[in-house]
Amino acid sequence: MPDLTFDGDVIIVTGAGSGLGRAYALELARRGARVVVNDLGVDESGAAAASAGADATVAVIREAGGTAVPDPHSVAERDGGRAIVRTALEAFGRVDAVVHNAGFSRDNFFDQMTDEQIDSVLDVHLRGAFYVAQPAYAAMKQAGGGRIVLTASTAGLLGAPLMANYGAGKMGVVGLARSIAVEGAQYGIKANALSPGAATRRGDDSSAFRFANRPNPIDPATVPGREWLTPERVAPMVVLLTHRSCPVTGEILMARSGWFARAWVTASEGWIAGGGPIQAEDLLQHWDEIAGTGTEGTELPLDGPGWTVRFMNERIKPLLAEPAANQRS
């Protein structure tokens, strides 16, 4: 199998000053990509300076013979997103892929979470995905294609106590990636959501609010196989998803500790009540059919409106010809 090289493709990586984003940027540059390294150098709460930010990552890339430019703009502002893409266009003339990795968390009990904690996290994770992806999408559309990778999380896919703001933003990113995938297909644009896992500064502190305030506190240092939880063991998935040979679009991928997988949206066969009046008691009576077994179901495809039309034609239309008396059981 041939090596996946980028031959000068231009890739934007947000939050690339440390952790996962830094590992992505270094590996993409090693494989020949020209990388726009975006980072503000803030800590995991998004407040205080915690690293040298983009400049340090760029220096490592250049020392290894790669090509990169730093970008200091905030993804949490529309003008910042435009500026990040403008950095790529001014430096290299195009944008082939975007990896929106920038993020932080501000944890709290759900009933005590403040507007500032909600808004600041949604601004960088969800609105930031819009603000960076929109101008990049426009450039890709004009150029005939590209790849967009948005960062999801198990906090969204599975839920997470004390992180309702973070989980909501990350699940919103999944819907955004899948929607971009449907709309962008006609322009050669692919978009996917990646849920990564690695021991970075965000997930390394046992005193962090989300670990210490659980009913059963978690100490990350005691997790088995922690030495495998490195950003470098996630980066190969980002390489594939940003490469011109990327085999998928609209998918939810997971990567951690060398484990790579696809997650998907599934529905049970369900129960169709038919055309007569429906009462809540009917649902309770048929709850086993509604809930399904947990091991059976149908994977739902991309394109919600399109699926709805197909569902109505395939599942509901045949019932319309049945006598009303036989439509409910």
Q: Catalytic amino acids?
A: 166
| Residue 323 CA: distances (Å) to CA of 270, 275, 286, 317 | 21, 9, 21, 13
Q: How far is residue 118's CA from residue 211's CA, in Å, rounded to a whole number?
A: 19
Closest CA to 78 of 36, 17, 132: 132
Give the integer Cα–Cα distance in Å for 137 and 145.
Answer: 8
Distance, CA of 313 to CA of 319 (rounded, Å):
10
Two structure tokens written together for 283: 């649902």
Q: Using CA atoms, how far apart are residues 229 and 231, in angstroms rounded to an integer?
A: 7
Q: What backbone phi and psi angles, to 5 degrees, belong to 55?
A: -60, -40
Three-state SS sequence of 222-255: HCCCHHHCCHHHCHHHHHHHHCCCCCCCCCEEEE
Determine the Cα–Cα distance for residues 250 and 312; give it in Å rounded to an integer.
23
CA dihedral 81→83→88→94, nearest 10 degrees, is 80
Give the strands of the sheet with 10-14, arranged side by side.
67-71, 34-38, 10-14, 97-100, 146-151, 189-197, 252-256, 259-263
CB atoms within 10 A of CB 297: 15
